[in-house]
Structures are given as structure tokens and as C-alpha cells.
Chains A and B, each alone.
Chain A
Amino acid sequence: MRCGDFRESYAEDMSIFESPLPRVLLGFLLVLLLALPAFATTYWLDVLNRIFIAIIAATGLNILTGFTGLISLGTAAFLAVGGYATAALAGKAGLPFVVVIPLAGALTALVGLVFGIPSLRLKGLYLAVATLAAHYVVEFTVTHWDSVTGGVNGISVPAARVGSLALGDDKRIYFLILVLMVGLLFFAKNLFRTKVGKAFVAVRDQDISAAVMGVNVFRYKLLAFAVSSFYIGVAGSLLAYQARIISPENFPITVAIDYLGMVIIGGLGSILGSIFGAVFITLLPELLRLANDALAAHWPSAMGLFAPFKSIVFGLVIVLFLIFEPDGMAARWHHIKNYWKLYPFSY
């Protein structure tokens, strides 16, 4: 904390921004992000879109796992529900995206509620495996319900439209994704300043104590499942609109593991952490691909080794991060910030 930075009221204590400067910087960042499509190439726009979608889903998972303490391996399944709901609602029913995206989110929230019911009795690892069951049930449904999901061949999704303008390419859908991401992040950040958010954290810290203090534990666990699944469902919906074709191959169990990696590396119980983690884990394979391409120019056999190379580096990064920075990137960021705030007199 800075010298002379006294908080004199509860409102001040709860404020998101410590000083006016971050507010201004955040404004600049937003303007920069809005201006970015004018400069970025299609490839990097695609990467950016995927990063933003990952941020939404990682925030959702962090609400469940980081803030409420319920470990979930069902992220890939919930993404799939959001994606296929979009394919059905936009493709078959022909609804506009302003209706489809919230509906896809709501539907995923409903599915999340159903799969959250075991949390009434299950805790910790047992609950994690129950969500793994959710993954396999959804995967089974998706591959077998051919009339709606197109089975293993996948299904195409029409482009989102604003009036007569189709948001077909990465440049146009970028703005839709950006706006939704900012809105959802804003909501999540504020959620934890309300009674509901504080109840989530109480359940995570010690659910019996929370119950003693009058928090209806089961209700809030289910609510956490619903809110989290809503976020992931919206992310899945955007994924469908961006990729334009989805198949069961888009949602393997490894996706759920990647997302778990994002929230843990980024920082459990931190919105900023979800952002850091999502950016890092989505960028990592892209950077590795660039490195591998550069390597392959001199040493052609590197080309075939890309997949194992990626897997090894991903594993190493996770292991090293957990050993050396177990609280995640968000904690490191706070350390750095505090160091420079007081520099050079750190005591």
C-alpha cells in the first residue's frame, strides 16, 4: 500500500481502483484494443479473438474453481453446450445473435445446474470426478444426437449479423467479442463486491463455517455452477460464431485441462489472474509455432517434432510455474507493482 493512502469509508475500501491513474490507463488500453483491427493481420486477429474468448471462459471457470472452490473438469463440455446451442438456435431456428448468445449462455447455465447437483454431497476430488462424468455425458450426447449436432462430422454455424452486415470474418466479429468480454469482466469484477460474491468466497474458505453464518451452501454452490456455466456458454457461443464450424473434436478433455491450467497459472480467485492465464496459455502454442518454424528453416526435421515439443513445453511451464510461483501470475504482478510503488524505499 502506498504512503498516505488511507481508506476512510467502506465505499473507499471496496473501490476497484486505488487511484485515478489505473482508470486512465484502462481507458487507454480499451481505445488501443478498439483501434487494433486497423493494424493487426488476419492471423493475429484470429489469435486475439481466441484469447478474448478464452478470457471469458477462464473467468467463468475461475468463478467456480477459484472463488467458490469447486474443482471442475467440465469446461470443455460447457463450451460444447454453448457452441452447439448456438449452432441450433442460429442455424436451424435462424435467430439473431443478440438473442442466441444470451440463450446459449442460459442453456449452458441450466446444464451446469444439473451437473452441479452432486455438489450437494460431493467435495474436492470426488466432485472433480463428477464433473469429469459431465464431460463424458455431453461428449456422448454431442456425438450421437446427429439430428441436432451433426454427429462426428460437426455442424456449420451462420455468421452473426447486424442488420445486413454479416460479422463473418475475424475483423468484424472482433468487436462483438471485445464488447462482450469487457461487459462480462465488468460484471465478474463487481460480482465479488456483492453479497452473492462474498458468499461464494465464504463457501470456498470453509463451507461449514459459511453454513453456520447463515449462507445457504448448496444454493450458492449451485448458483456458482450456473454463473460459471453461463460465462463458459457465452464463450462457447462466440467460439461457434468465430470458427463457423464446430465438431466434437473442438472440445476434447484436454481443453478442460488447458482452462484449469489458465486459472491456476493466472491466479485462483482473481479476475486479473484469469486474464493473464488465458492470454498466456493461448499465446504459448502460437509463440512455440513461430519458434518451431524458425527452427525448421535451419533444421527441417524439427517440423515433425512440433506436437511433442508443444506438449513438453506446456507441461514444463505448468510444473515450473506451480513450483516457483504457486499463487499465479496475478500475485507476481502485485509484487512487481508494490515494489515499484515504493521504489527505492521499499520499507
Chain B
Amino acid sequence: MRSTLAIMGKELRILFTSPIAYVVAAMFVLISGYLFYSIVLFASSQSMQIMRVQGALPQINLNDLVFRPTFHNMAVILMLTLPLITMRLLAEEKKIKTIELLLTSPVPLTAIVMGKYLAALVVFTLMLALTAYMPLLMWYYGSIQWMPILTGYLGIWLLGGVFIAVGLLASSLTENQIIASFISFGAVLILWLIGWVSQAAADTSWGSFLTYLSIGEHTENFIRGMIDTEDLVYQATLIIVGLFITHRVLESQRWK
């Protein structure tokens, strides 16, 4: 536990002394903010139209109209940005040979993997916290329900957790950061695209199997405001499997 915290601390220090964390977080906030702004514009023009037709203030659901598309956008932006946070985690250690220090210290491999994972998770959580102005604005100027927004954030947070586990695994496979980021981006995209394939093969047992595998499907319920244990189990399984394979990869690399 102590060594996990030591590794996490070191990782965070490097992430925040180098520009990576700031650049990635800034891009994430900028792009998600711009998309949020255009969604809000669209929502207000729509409500204007409804008002003109009905001649009265319409009962519009801001949660549905604004936050569902915003969470979807966040998911896609995270798919592109989180690999940039995770790519260096292990690849860099191998490249500059600091992995020799870690592996010859009395630190279990699990602590190395967990320390790195938690560090990236902390950065991601801070990134996500920066978007809190969105619901706060909507709450101040309009009326929103908080619970679906909180479950939506939980869903996105778990999704990011999966992306980070996949990214960490990709980073353990190579000592080249660009390759690591590309592998993790590809793997995450595949997890996402399975959903589209499953729609084409809908109503067959194969189709429902693919639907189960698709990560988008398991995030959707959270965004709608539901917490389903099935989804929790799915996300947790992906994270644990990702971390476990990372551990095995690091172990097997010692034997080469």
C-alpha cells in the first residue's frame, strides 16, 4: 500500500511538472465546453420555437435536451484524450530504463501497476471536475434534476476508468509512446464500435452478445439516470482484466 502511494505520488508529480496533464485537460475542457455551448444554443432556439407555436412557456427537460448529448460528447473526447495521459505511464519507464529501478526495489508488481493506474485516474477525475460548471450554470439559470447528472458523471467516470486500464495495458506492451497511444485508442474504439455492429445483427443471440460487449451500451444507462449492477459489473470487470493483463505482461517481460 505504501509503495503504491509512493509510485502514485511520483507519477502525479511528473504528470504535473511536465505540460502533458495541463495540455490534455485544457483541450478536454475547451472542446467539451464548446460543444456544450452549441448544445445549449440549440436547446434555447428549440424552446423559443416551441414557445412561438404554443404561445406559452414550455416544460422542457434540460437533462434530456442538454446533458445527454453533452455526456455522449465527453465520452468521445475522452476516447481521444485519455490515451495521451496513459501512453507514457509504462512505455517511458522502459524507454529511459527507470523500470530497472522499480523492478529491483522491494516493491510488488501490483503496487507499480496500481500506483500508475491511480495516478492517471486522479488526473482524469480532476479533468472531469473542471466540467462541473456545466450543471452549475444550468442549475442557476434553469431547472435541472441533479440525480441523473450525478449518475451520468458516474458513468463517464467509470468509462474513463476503463479507458485508462486499456491505455495502461497498451503502454506496457511497448516502449514507444506513440505506438502505445495508438494501440489504446484503437482498442477503445473497437470496444465502442462493437455497439454499431450489434445493431446490425440485432435480435439474434449473436447480436445481443455483441450488445453486451459494447461499452457504449453500458454507459447509456448511467447517462439516462439508471444505475444497473450489470453495468457496474461490466465496467469493473474490464478494469480488473485490463490491470491483471498489464501485470502479467510486465511479469513476462522479465523472462524474455
A binds B: no
- Measuring CB to CB, which residues of chain A are less than 8 angstroms from any residue of chain B? none
Binding site for A on B (CB under 8 A): none
